[in-house]
Structure 1
Amino acid sequence: MNRIFSGVQPTGNLHLGNYLGAIRNFVTLQDDYESIFCVVDMHAITVWQNPEELRRHTREVTAAYLAAGIDPTQSIIFNQSQVAAHAELAWIFNCVARIGWLNRMTQFKEKAGKHKENASAGLYVYPNLMAADILVYKATHVPVGEDQKQHLELARDIAQKFNNDFGRDFFPLTEPLILGSATRVMSLRDGTRKMSKSEASDMSRINMTDDADAIAQKVRKAKTDTEAMPGLEALDDSGRVSEAARKARPEAFNLIGIYAALADQSLPDVLSEFAGQPFSGFKKALTDLAVEKLGPIGAEMKRLMANPDHVDAVLRDGGERARALAMPILKEVYDLVGFLRP
């Protein structure tokens, strides 16, 4: 069976974008792949984290995995820092990857901004650690969002160079899995910006722990426009929203995409159902759907967060199973590199 690896950073405020773009897909993938789902706490500290909040957020992501339906007996759930092999392989990859490759990483430029001289070295070599996360398990596939495709391409470059350097077809060239009709969920306040846990306004996102009243308020106040719901004329020949239509009405098509994803419907079906109707009616339908789908998950997350011993036990068991997979692969890497380990 093919093996997948993916992870979510424990930096707080898990939201609808995390659920639709990642966590929900994990649930469906676990039936078809040997699945490893990580809470990537080592990635989180590339920018400073309050230690107590980091621990709480690590448990929160784990609770989200469990509440959404990931089975910890079927899949491996653990936090990254439990498995030292991630950091050990990342150092080797620091010596395999080229500076020019890292200089092309757009996410570092976006996160460091004008202050890149003050950014941590960890943020700069973040993609090498991501490659190690994947390849220390020889994962064959990674479910990724559009914004992570470049990092996965770097992981493939690193695997290829390692294989060439040591004359072995050792690491797989991991393939991306980009799934779902709403892999990129945008802000409820600005349809041109990605929904983000770091945005100041809580009204810009639906948090996974929001209750029914909060979800209803956020959908009701989500930015739209004065026009009626669009119809099939907004789609191009491939059945996707045309660039011109999306550019003209970004907030409208963001909400339509969210509805399609939550309802597991195609965009043509959603547009056919609501075409020409006022947006107020569509928002009511979206509210009901979001409460139905997200309400039970949020309630279960809160229940699990109130029982940290159970969450910690899941992480501890997952860490043991992850180490059992990673350590033989790391040992082979050390032998190939030439490290003497008496």
Structure 2
Amino acid sequence: MAANDPKRKYQDGRDEMNLADFPISALQRQQPTDAEGRKLDKMVFEASRYDPQLRQRVSQRVTLTTSSSDGLPTPADEHVILALLYTAKHGDNFGSAVVHFSPAQLFEIMGWAPNGRSYERLRGVLRRLKSLTLRYENAWWDPAGRGYEEEVATGIISEYRMARQVSGPRQPGAVPRSWVRWTEQFYESLQKGNIKRLNLEIFFRLRSPTAQRMYRFLDKRFYNAPVFSMDLIEFACGHIGLTETRNVAVLKRRLAPGLKELEDIHFITPAADAERYQKVRPGIWRIQFQEGMKKAEGSRQKAEGSEDTTASGCLLPTAYCLLPSAF
């Protein structure tokens, strides 16, 4: 099987709602570094949401911290998480916090070549995910409490085992010797059903990390309504992960290739810049999307969790949508 060409049987993937909302990795494929070439050990994503009780927008912040030796996650790390979620769903349906897997199984889901280079790449991903700490401030949805937690610090995996590579076919019925264990907080979210379907066939066919990130974020938002609009900077920098800038022209240019990918697969309806971007006032712009005609053929699926996504983003009455970002 060619790289980036996963089999159709992997359409029925899963995504955890909080991970669909905010990135947990740098957007570039290479490790982000500082001016002196050292790996970064911290990254922050900021946005806002409408709080119906306070009747105003409140700030949200997700902070990624790790050791400088391991470095921050890259898009490949999020690919591995999605492959593990698929394995957990179609294995014991999230019945255990431990997910057994074979590296070859994950490679097939993600479209990675089954070779030693991919094996070492996977090892690096697991090391980064093990050392990663995520702090959610007013941004972690608790489906049981039907609200956002004030502050939650967690990770994705608490421990893992990467078994030695062996030659020859695996014995029928044998349990894969490699495994990961979800952190308690993350596994609790999975058990509470805070997950949604995600078409992995479409996801892994997208070429750019920007398009993949937008696909996950918008796939969640389109569940409630076929049209979605929000503050441009919050969308591009807070939820997609572009480097923060107030230069609207730069953001438009960076988003353009990913938007074209999503338009080409009919996930979103093509739009001219005058339709896609609306100027509210000097310095405040909004971006608008309408789901494409073919989205319903596979990617728009009923969420399995109970998150009320009208509490975030811009799936609220128009008057609320016109409120500027809190930043």
Report if TM-score (shorter chain) is over 0.5.
no
Structure with more of its chain in helix, by fraction:
1
Structure with more of its chain in strand, by fraction:
2
Select the structure of larger CA radius of gyration.
Answer: 1
Tell me which interval the TM-score lies in, with the shorter structure as reference length.
under 0.3
| TM-score normalised by structure 2 residue count | 0.28
